[in-house]
A and B are shown apart, each in its own frame.
Chain A
């Protein structure tokens, strides 16, 4: 079973991506996917949307699973993974989560059966350069922990800004694999689904 943590700052497009990704992975690749979403707010809004879109989703809200709600995450995984024959868990982290801590928690305390852990980080191209200096070390930690960095919202960000964000991310993580996309476009999501399906 593979665990993919989808991280990225608040409003970077995680819910849009996760919802579309799950659909693609199930429909095109017959993957058995479980969705877990963590909303830091006291009301689980992302989960409401996913359910309306037809996804079966487990929701943890009212805190962050990388710290306060780590126990809730472990408990949930232990309860639900034996019940379903899933081969992939897509876990949407809260926007203020440090994904490395989530993976560490699952590795240490989670149920057996996971053989692959991957982190995907979304970066909002429209405002990364503006907010990064104010939100360190959080934003850097999300990028540094990522196996795949997705620079999102290229459909609404000016081209030169996207280029500048790519440069900044490359400086931060020279070995990082970077993809630019608009998570609202089906063809872009399809590319990410293909990467995930092909053993990444």
Chain B
């Protein structure tokens, strides 16, 4: 029984998580970028985004530090495809370069099934006049191909309040008049085959494939009277497939209503997240993940610049969000 407890994946995950928090405390301060409109904080040990606030509306988008995540990538092995690299298990070198810039670097990445990989993933994050930009690079010195990188990764994305709705708006065919609207709160409908996901999941395509025009060069995370503008496009065409991904943890209340539990925690256990399977009564956190997924297919011994992801808060409805894209195009 003791052996089962000590070596269960859940216990190991929990221990790892506890170690992560302990390390974070030991290493001290988080790193914050802040201007008149926005605040974003990074964990100094893991490099995870632990807080993100729209200061003008007090919308706390990333709220609970313990749910912050830095990145995730997949590097299949020759004899086993399942080989993720979780940012939660990496140590970051976090350097605040200036008041509006932080550099993060993760080296010698610990993979789940392939040991330590000679790879360096680095990010340069800037905050200028309300525009928060994540520029990142993968230096892959291994023989493996890195298929995908999820970055930036918001591990606890919140609507402005429990009473507020939150929808994701994307374009179809790059057409500003053809907007697709998917609610992620208070309802979250799974859009992937249930057999192949743990959590209700939605992905929206920013670009289909290399060289294509942008399917949806931006997405809007739209609350009733404010939103977050997320721009993926950096140029007329995309160098690779890029997706906006949303996951609702640990799931919905009811498969009929698809309502998200309107609470921070719900009775239960989430092995993947790391709740303790042996606890008599345990609670598991309820949270929404938002990340952008870059299908880089970076071959061994290569360096890949990822498409920069720019975020900006706005007030108003989706038209205000679309106007930001028009402005960005006008400025080019």
The answer to whether A and B interact is no
Residues in B lying within 8 Å of A, measured CB to CB:
none
